[in-house]
Amino acid sequence: MKTFKLTIEYDGTDFNGWQVQTNAPRTVQGEIEKVLSKIFKKHIAVVGSGRTDTGVHARGQVAHFRAVTAMPADEIQRAMNYNLPFDIVILKVEEAEKDFHAQLDACWKTYSYTILNRSCSSALNHRYCCFFPRRLDFALMRKEAKALVGEKDFRSFANIDRSRPGRNAIRTIRALSIRKRGDFIVLTIEADGFLYKMVRNIVGTLIEIASGRFPAGSVKAMLQRKDRRAAGLAAPPQGLCLEKVDY
């Protein structure tokens, strides 16, 4: 039995998220398992580093599967990409240590979130960014984001995950940057783990602060409240992308 590590890129627009679900006809995990089962002539279970929601993208999602096979990794990659739909690409297949686990062994994850801040939307980029037409105070957004760095209780920025009741809300954000690229604002966040909708809730809150709905100093106060109702609305999913997973 061999363990293979997959590095995966996908456009999440037309998927019902990563995880196979009852009554969700198209998921990223489901499409990959379907193809692997075709290649190996038996059901192959795939375990991802974590779940991404409907509409969320990935440049560097990591997953693993186990199989009894003599096929080399590069041949598996070619076979998978030949059979997968256009919106999923296997960037790399590697034979890993037998006990490698894509989820349990992950140390750090990096997400990016892209905001288009101008008066009109984009025909080419609307699937990959959040369009916000009103002026955003970029300097204030960066200043407020500094309060999020470090080990914190992020309960105020996490939706209830009914599959994991009572989950510990302590996470460590190691790095958070916000940069302007023309009309685009790109937030990049690296942490040892993320709670359900944590990044989208953080971004949505920073947008509301930068647009004047909440005053300066709000992020620090929201963290202290430890109450989801204290923070802003979640930003839409299409601006979010899982960039990489470190082990």
Q: Return the pLDDT at 217.
A: 94
pLDDT of residue 166: 61
For the residues 225-238, what does the mean pLDDT come to?
A: 96
Question: What pLDDT, on a 0 to 100 scale, did the predictor assign at position 165?
Answer: 60
Q: Is 192 helix (H, G, I), strand (E, B) or coil?
A: coil
The answer to whether the CB of 42 falls within 8 A of the CB of 137 is no
Q: How far apart are CA 118 and CA 183, in angstroms?
A: 6
Question: ∠ CA 191-178-106 to the nearest 5 degrees?
Answer: 15
Q: How far apart are CA 196 and CA 191, in angstroms?
A: 13
Q: State the chain's mean pLDDT as an integer.
A: 95
The residues assigned a catalytic role are 53
Enumerate the domain spans of the chain. Answer: 2-96, 108-246
Buried b (16+ CB within 10 A) or exposed e, 74-106: eebbebbeeebeebbebeebeebeeebebeebb
Q: Indicate whether this model's pTM tops 0.85.
A: yes
Class in CATH terms, 2-96: alpha beta
Mean of pLDDT values over 54-62: 97
Q: What is the largest CA-CA distance in the chain?
A: 61
Give the pLDDT mean for 79-105. Answer: 98
| Fold agreement between 2-96 and 108-246 | yes
Tell me the mean pLDDT in the region 12-30.
91
User: Cα(193)–Cα(104) distance, rounded to whole angstroms?
Assistant: 11
How large is the average pLDDT for residues 110-119? Answer: 98
Rg (C-alpha) for the chain, rounded Å, is 19
Residues forming a β-bridge with 18: none
DSSP string, 149-163: -EEEE-GGG----TT
Rounded CA separation 113/128 (Å): 9
DSSP state of 233: P
| Between 94 and 166, the higher pLDDT residue | 94
Architecture of domain 108-246: 2-Layer Sandwich (3.30)
Name beta bridge partners: 113: 187, 240
Is residue 114 over pLDDT 80?
Answer: yes
Amino acid at position 105, single letter: D
Q: What mean pLDDT do residues 77-103 have?
A: 98
